[in-house]
Amino acid sequence: MSLKDEKITRRGGRSARRTARINAPIVHHPALVPKVPVYEVANAEGVEQIHELAMRIVEEIGVDFRDTESLEFWRRTDAEISGERVRVGRDTLMDLVAKTPSEYVHHGRNPERTVAVGGRSMVVSPSYGPPFILDFEGVRRHATLDDLNNLQKLNHMASSVHIAGGPIVEPVDTPVPHRHLHMAYSAFKYSDKPIIGNVTAGERAEDTVEMCKIVFGDAFATNNCCTTSLINSNSPLVWDATMLDALKVYAANNHAVMCSPFSMAAASTPASNVGTMAVVTAEALMAIAFAQLVRPGSPMLFGVPAMTVALNTGAPVHGSPDSAIVQFLAGQMARRYKVPHRAIANCATSKTPDMQAAYDSMWGLFPSFLAGAQWITMAGGMVEGTLGLSYAKTVIDFEQVDAFYHFCQGCCFDDLDEIFETVKEVGPGGHFLGAAHTRRSNLFIFPSQNNVSWEQWDLDGRKDSAQVGLDKARTWLERYEEPEIDPVLDEALLEFVRKRESEIPARLD
Amino acid sequence: MSLKDEKITRRGGRSARRTARINAPIVHHPALVPKVPVYEVANAEGVEQIHELAMRIVEEIGVDFRDTESLEFWRRTDAEISGERVRVGRDTLMDLVAKTPSEYVHHGRNPERTVAVGGRSMVVSPSYGPPFILDFEGVRRHATLDDLNNLQKLNHMASSVHIAGGPIVEPVDTPVPHRHLHMAYSAFKYSDKPIIGNVTAGERAEDTVEMCKIVFGDAFATNNCCTTSLINSNSPLVWDATMLDALKVYAANNHAVMCSPFSMAAASTPASNVGTMAVVTAEALMAIAFAQLVRPGSPMLFGVPAMTVALNTGAPVHGSPDSAIVQFLAGQMARRYKVPHRAIANCATSKTPDMQAAYDSMWGLFPSFLAGAQWITMAGGMVEGTLGLSYAKTVIDFEQVDAFYHFCQGCCFDDLDEIFETVKEVGPGGHFLGAAHTRRSNLFIFPSQNNVSWEQWDLDGRKDSAQVGLDKARTWLERYEEPEIDPVLDEALLEFVRKRESEIPARLD
């Protein structure tokens, strides 16, 4: 074989390996059961101090429930109600919170994607809510339904993401009153993972449950968790009617809801990690307890986005050491109350998928996984606070989530004797590359991390990771294969969407 | 005042605030004493299993000391020596390791910069060794002495970096036999923080100690830690003559040395986190014990770069979940042996200061700080594995180090009553922006994190964080003020450099 032939063969080999990698079947990891311990920033006394402060807040200051019907629920308890303000004693509050399951099952339309949430089981869900997209041409524009569908596809292919959206982006080209229908359809159509529900109005939550009935059957969908939704309080200490309406619908059907105080330390919560944690604990516990008044045993999650406000600009900031402290504290408080903990993987203040964006995200990723959060939102792509999502960053972030999944497998002590024999065989000055033990290794390599020489990288066009991410997202969309869906079910969902579209005015007057 | 006037005043105000920020005096943080606990990935039994495996390696397989003089030191013990191979019983080894101090003082030429290393005290040191620089024009080229001087200046201004270089970059334009002289001069001249020593030959280590004698006085510099140096083993299980020569010089003078097995899992160590840890524990303990034979009580550090090898390309990879596990384990082993733990903050496989570079770095930063490493190297700038350093990334990374310094201050429980009163005063639906408690807050904001609106960022030229970093590095170099140095001392150092340059041939023949 000539040198030239060899070169061609080698190239063929490399290209063949790349093709094999690209065409490898999609792997769906089960819910993560971490083998590493949780990290805690406060000691037991600190946790009790935060609890005590939160209890003083609910007992002495109270929380506003800005919805007449919701106040009626509170009147069934010994809470003290004054206008919209609800003050409740800790015994009543804790009795209600105790009814929330510490672990529950969230069903996917494909039973193989159904996951346990809570206990030792951790799941990851996609990004949520950004109205802007950094698209394949590098343009920032309003996101569309096509973008949402694309992102459902990418999300479906992400090994360590267990949940479908939800508004991975807001499909801004779809009329608000119809958006929830297309959102649920997009999730059911392009993925078979468990889905996120809509919370922008009570009747939209009801429509979402109706669509679950089509997929899962009436009795099942009204008694089992078929969606998980996200409601935000208006921190400090206010729950508004829209969020409460959605909460009532989902709780009544036994679907799960994440209570997420919209905490921005220094603005909506105190400029203190402990103070923020106490206020959001008060808010979250009140919503969790409220859900138990609607339906005892309805699954709820405890968590907090933990932003801070930059006092120089007044802007909310994602990704900071203060937020990280709060995320760790939230895990400790959630464990104290035996409610599954929801954390936020990935929100970047940066406007573009750059170095700062990754640093910002890591201040969420590490605390989410090390806090042992049982539900980790915002798996990938967030930029510009909560306003933008980048295709490029989405797929690069997914690799980080895979890396944390790997990290959480922890240490391996199963092969100590084989390791000793291998070290002995290799001996001082040898190498392990050819060892049988090495060939079976599963060391983690980031697929998009460029580990060739600088010269090779230069020859290959000096792509930075934003470009690599865009290429990968494009390739993934080409490779995407729709999960099987019964055509009858598909048509029934579409028919429901069409019917409701015809019933609901496209504009709000 | 007209609207226009107000606008001008506001602009003036913003610009004035920015100028004030830029001209703020340099803050030098003391050594970090963390108020957060360490994170451990293995339980006590796991630590003992790794110890046991390491002991089997030193007893049954042994470690090569490829230096006749070093073998003579081992002959004073009951070690079994066969050729270059040293096998030593665990009792002898542990008795020697126990002589290493768990805490020591590293002196800076300015006593205010002197730091404790070990115990609860953590210090951060700059990057080490890259021959290439990504310069201010975005060009990758060989680093020069000017670059090293620039980086000493930037490093001197970094609040949370306690140590001066060392070869922050390799000054490739300086002849190798003279490089150590200029390296030590650069550190002493442009910073007054404690310095890193040279290890490329025994006589170069001696020259470095000679320069310490000029700075600190003969008796002081031969009995107190005035440099910390870094020696790498040739994993697996080999210490070579060059590294041992340098170690002997520094240990003899009571200067500190970091023993850093050059572990690349799957190549130079087993493809296993536990296996890698056992091999590098064996290597590091042997060097630490050896130093105690040279001079009992000489300070040593235990740590490991914890790379992995990408089996698809054979390239070493920095920044991975496997490395993170090993870094956490290294902290646990160091605590077991009561030797200060040295970890690696920041090595990126990426070629350029992009998203991946930041992700890679965070896989070192979080484990370094959460492992409670008492010496954290590679504070900023690394790209391209250990080969390149980016000015832009250097200053962005310094902000991350500041953020970890802040994170390690942990939770604040001092002001619970004030927080309660503030929450009560603000009440549901209010805000904390104007509260007295908020005005005293110290929430962390990354100076280079852009938190303005997208529109403002667009108007400002859409700078990504690599560009922001370059601008900041330039501004810092303009702002830099040389720390005071006695002109007599400065001239004495320069004279020594000139003398040795005249004595040592610039080329090795």
pLDDT tens-place string over residues A401-458 = 999 999 999 999 999 999 999 999 999 999 999 999 999 888 999 999 999 999 999 9
Q: Is the pLDDT of residue B17 over 70?
A: no
Q: In this structure, is the dihedral angle defined by the CA atoms of residues B383, B389, B390 and B393, taken in order, positive or negative?
A: positive
**CB of A229 less than 8 A from some CB of B:** no
Residues 245-274 of A with CB under 8 A from B: 265-274
Task: Residue A449: list chain B partners with CB under 8 A.
Answer: 317, 319, 349-350, 356, 360
pLDDT at residue A19 in the model: 59
Q: Is the pLDDT of residue B185 over 90?
A: yes
> For every residue of B320-366, which 3-state class applies, written as one string?
CHHHHHHHHHHHHHHHHHCCCEEEECCCECCCCCCHHHHHHHHHHHH
* CB atoms B267 and A435 under 8 Å: no
Q: Are A237 and A210 in contact (CB under 8 A)?
A: no
Q: Using 50, 70 and 90 to split pLDDT, how confident is the model at B19?
A: low
What average pLDDT does the segment B173-196 reach? 98
Q: Is the pLDDT of residue A6 over 60?
A: no
pLDDT at residue B7 in the model: 39
Q: Is the pLDDT of residue A376 over 70?
A: yes
- Return the higher-pLDDT residue of B19 and B334: B334
* CB atoms B311 and A441 under 8 Å: yes
- Mutate: best of A322, A346, A411, partner B, most B CBs <10 A: A411
What average pLDDT does the segment B212-236 reach? 97
* CB atoms B325 and A410 under 8 Å: yes
Query: Can you tell me the distance from the alpha carbon of A119 to that of A121, in angstroms, rounded to the nearest whole number?
Result: 5
Q: Using 50, 70 and 90 to split pLDDT, how confident is the model at B419?
A: very high
Residues 351-380 of A with CB under 8 A from B: 351-363, 365-366, 370
pLDDT at residue B21 in the model: 58
Task: Residue A407: list chain B partners with CB under 8 A.
Answer: 321, 324-325
pLDDT at residue B22 in the model: 58
pLDDT at residue A262 in the model: 81
What average pLDDT does the segment A191-215 reach? 97
Minimum distance, in Å, between the CA of residue B52 and any CA atom of chain A:
10
Which DSSP string do the residues of A176-230 spell out, in sequence order? Answer: HHHHHHHHHHHHHHH--S-EEPP-SSHHHHHHHHHHHHHHH-HHHHTTSB-EEEE
Q: What is the mean pLDDT of chain B?
A: 94
> Nearest CB to A454: which of B17, B384, B400?
B384
pLDDT at residue B16 in the model: 58
Q: Is the pLDDT of residue B3 over 50?
A: no
pLDDT tens for A336-352 read: 999 999 999 989 999 99
Q: Using 50, 70 and 90 to split pLDDT, how confident is the model at B313?
A: confident
pLDDT at residue B4 in the model: 39
**CB of B241 less than 8 A from some CB of A:** no
**CB of B311 less than 8 A from some CB of A:** yes
Q: Is the pLDDT of residue A398 over 90?
A: yes
> For every residue of B375-440, which 3-state class applies, written as one string?
EEECCCCEECECCEEEHHHHHHHHHHHHHHHHHCCCCCCCCHHHHHHHHHHHCCCCCCCCCHHHHC
pLDDT tens for A81-98 read: 999 999 999 999 999 999
Count Cβ atoms below 10 Å from residue A445 Cβ, excluding itself: 21
- Six token digits for residue B37: 């606990």
Write the CA distances from B242 to A327, A352, A353, B210, B269, integer angstroms: 47, 46, 44, 19, 21
**CB of A457 less than 8 A from some CB of B:** yes
**CB of B40 less than 8 A from some CB of A:** yes
pLDDT tens for A246-275 read: 999 999 999 999 988 888 999 999 999 999
* CB atoms A469 and B355 under 8 Å: yes
Q: Is the pLDDT of residue A508 over 90?
A: no
Nearest to B305 by CA among B353, B252, B342, B253: B342
Query: Can you tell me the distance from the alpha carbon of A459 to that of B117, in angstroms, rounded to the nearest whole number?
Result: 45
Q: Are A353 and A396 in contact (CB under 8 A)?
A: yes
pLDDT at residue B447 in the model: 93
Q: Is the pLDDT of residue A5 over 70?
A: no
* CB atoms A403 and B320 under 8 Å: yes
Which helix (H) or strand (E) covers residue A333, if one does? Answer: helix A321-337
Q: Using 50, 70 and 90 to split pLDDT, how confident is the model at B8?
A: very low
Q: Is the pLDDT of residue A3 over 60?
A: no
pLDDT at residue A26 in the model: 84
Name the closest residue on chain A to residue B419, using Cα atoms: A275
What average pLDDT does the segment B228-242 reach? 95
- Mutate: best of B443, B453, B455, partner A, most A CBs <10 A: B443
pLDDT at residue B6 in the model: 37
Q: Using 50, 70 and 90 to split pLDDT, how confident is the model at B25?
A: confident
pLDDT tens for A185-200 read: 999 999 999 999 999 9
**CB of A384 less than 8 A from some CB of B:** yes
Q: Which residues contact B171 (CB under 8 A, 6 or more apart)?
A: B143, B144, B145, B147, B148, B179, B182, B183, B186
Backbone angles phi, psi at A256, to 5 degrees: -85, 150
> Nearest CB to A407: which of B311, B325, B450?
B325
Minimum distance, in Å, between the CA of residue B332 and any CA atom of chain A:
13
Q: Using 50, 70 and 90 to split pLDDT, how confident is the model at B12?
A: very low
pLDDT at residue B315 in the model: 87
Q: Using 50, 70 and 90 to split pLDDT, how confident is the model at B18?
A: low
Nearest to B339 by CA among B377, B286, B378, B380: B286
